[in-house]
Structure formats: C-alpha cells, structure tokens
Amino acid sequence: MLRQLFFLIGGLLDRLVYLSYGLSVVLGFIGVKLILEALHHSGVKWAPEIPIVVSLSIILGTLVVTAVLSLVKSSRDEKAKAREEEVAGVE
C-alpha cells in the first residue's frame, strides 16, 4: 500500500510543476504574517492583525491556483507533444 502511494505521489509531483513557486509564496506570506503579528503585539499601531480565516484562505487559494495552473500546463504540454509526434509521423 505504501509503495503504491509513493508512486502515486511521485507521479503527481511530476505534474505539479508550479508547486515550488506556490510553496515559496505561502512561506513568504507566513513570514510576513509572523513579523506583522509580532509588531502588532509589541504595540505598533500601524501593524495589522491578519485573522486566521484570511490566512487559511490565502494559503489554500495559493495552493489550489498553483495546482490548477500546473495541471493545465501539463495537459497542454502533453497535447503539444502528441501533436509533434503526429506531425513527425506524417513526414
């Protein structure tokens, strides 16, 4: 069972080409949120407090957008490759 899960995840990660960009955006957001949270609790007036619901929405939204964009790109790449092979086979 674990072996099957390993190959499933491995195949999925090959298709999620933009996942690293999405994760870096998420980590950057978390870092900024932590800094703003620390400033807010230190009494800095201009530092906003970001609610948990907003944070989770941004994180999930970023991951969903990068996953969808990655799958669309993978699909387009596969179609383009199939067309190239078709054209090469005709000649």
Instruction: Please give the distance of CA 82 from its chain centroid, rounded to a whole number.
Output: 26
Quick: pLDDT tens for 2-54.
Answer: 788 778 777 788 888 998 999 999 999 999 999 999 999 999 999 999 999 99
Closest C-alpha among 78, 66, 81 to residue 18 = 66
Q: Could you give the CA distance from residue 21 to residue 29 in angstroms, rounded to a whole number?
A: 12
The predicted model scores a pTM of 0.80
Q: Is the pLDDT of residue 90 over 70?
A: no
Please provide residue 34's backbone torsions phi and psi, each rounded to the nearest 5 degrees.
-65, -40
65 vs 91 pLDDT, higher one: 65
Q: Could you give the CA distance from residue 87 to residue 77 in angstroms, rounded to a whole number?
A: 15
Cβ neighbors of 40 (< 8 A, separation 6 or more) are: 47, 48, 49
Give me the residue spans of the domains in the chain. Answer: 2-90
Residue 13, pLDDT score: 81
**Rounded average pLDDT over 78-86:** 86
